[in-house]
Amino acid sequence: MRGYNVQNIKYLSCHMQAERRYAETYKFNFLNTVKDIAYIISGILICGFALKSFLVPNQFFDGGVTGISLLIHELYHVNIAYVIVTANLPFIVMGIYQVNGKFAWKTLTAIIGVGLCLHFIPYPVITSDKLLVCIFGGVFMGTGVGLAIRGGCALDGIEVLALYTLKRSSFTISEIILGINVIIFSIAAIKLGIPTALYSIMTYYAASKTISFVIEGLEEYTGFTIISGQSEIIKEKLVKDLGRGLTIYKGERGYLKDSFDISYPCDIIFTVVTRLEVRRLKRMVFSVDPHAFMFTSTIKEAAGGVLKKRARH
C-alpha cells in the first residue's frame, strides 16, 4: 500500500461506491426505458388490431377521442388513420401544459404509431358477430390502451381534456369523461341507430374494465384495517406467516349499547396486501378471533416498505 494513506483509501472507496451506484442507476433507467418502449409498441399494435379487426368493420365505437374519430369516420368516410391522429393533436398540445413535455411527445409518437398501423398493416376482420365484437373489441382496445399507459403515454386524449376541464369546473374527472361519452353515444344513436350505440356502450365498458386490470394487474393493493382483542397474535401471524408489514394505531374497544361506559385499550392494525392475498388474510384473522372487525379500502398506488415490488406504470 506504498504511496497511499488512510484518507486516499477512503476517497478511492467512496469513489468506487459512487461509480457502482451510478452504474446501477444507469442500468435501472435503461431497463425501464426498454420496458416502456415494449409496452408502448405492444399497446399500439393491439389497439390497431382492435380497431381494424373488430370495431371499424362493424361500425362500433369506443369512448373518448377514439370514439369521436370512429364516429367521424362512419359519418364522413374519412380515413380512420388520419382522423385519429388529427383528432388527438389538440389534446397532445394541451398535455404539454397539463402534464409535461415528455408525456406529450411520447403520446404524439404513440398516436402516430397507431395511425401508421391502421394505414399500413392489413389486419384481418375476425368476426361480424355483434356480441363478440363488443366484448373482444373492447378487451383488445383496453389492453392496448392499458399497456401504453404503463409505458408512460396515452392513446386517447380524453384524459388530458378531463384534467383541463377539472381545473375550471366543479366536476370530477370521471364525471367529465362520462359526460363527453354520453354525447358521443347519443350522436351515434341518432345517426347510426340505438342498437349500434348500445353495443358500443358495452364495448366501452369492456375496454375501461380491461384498462384498469392491465394497469393495476393481479397485484392491485387492498388496505386492511383490523380491530381485535387478539391483536398481538394477529400481528405476529401477519409478519411471520404472511410476510406483511403493518402499522399500529392506538385505540379503544368497547362502548357497546348495554355497556357504554366500558372500554379497553387496543392496537388497531393496518396492513396492505395484494388482492390475491385477501382471502388468506381474512381466514387467518378469523381463525384467531372470529369476532374481529375488519374493513378494506382500495389502494391506488403504494410503494416502499416491505411491499412486494411490482411493475411500474
Enter the C-alpha cell of residue 191.
345517426
CA distance 15 to 9: 10
Report all structural domains of the chain as residue ranges with CATH numbers, in order of start: 29-216 (no CATH), 221-299 (3.30.70.120)
CB 200, CB 134: distance < 8 Å: yes
Of 81, 148, 145, 86, give the one whose Cα is nearest residue 116.
81
Lookup: cell for 20: 457502482
**Per residue of the chain (313 residues), what is the pLDDT tens digit?**
444 454 444 444 554 565 566 555 655 577 888 888 999 999 999 999 999 999 999 888 888 888 889 889 888 889 999 999 999 998 888 878 777 788 888 889 999 999 999 999 999 999 999 999 999 999 999 999 889 888 888 888 776 766 666 666 666 666 677 788 888 889 888 988 899 889 888 998 898 888 878 876 655 678 889 988 888 899 888 888 888 888 888 888 777 777 777 777 888 899 988 777 788 888 888 898 888 888 888 776 666 555 554 444 3
Rounded to two decimals, the pTM is 0.70
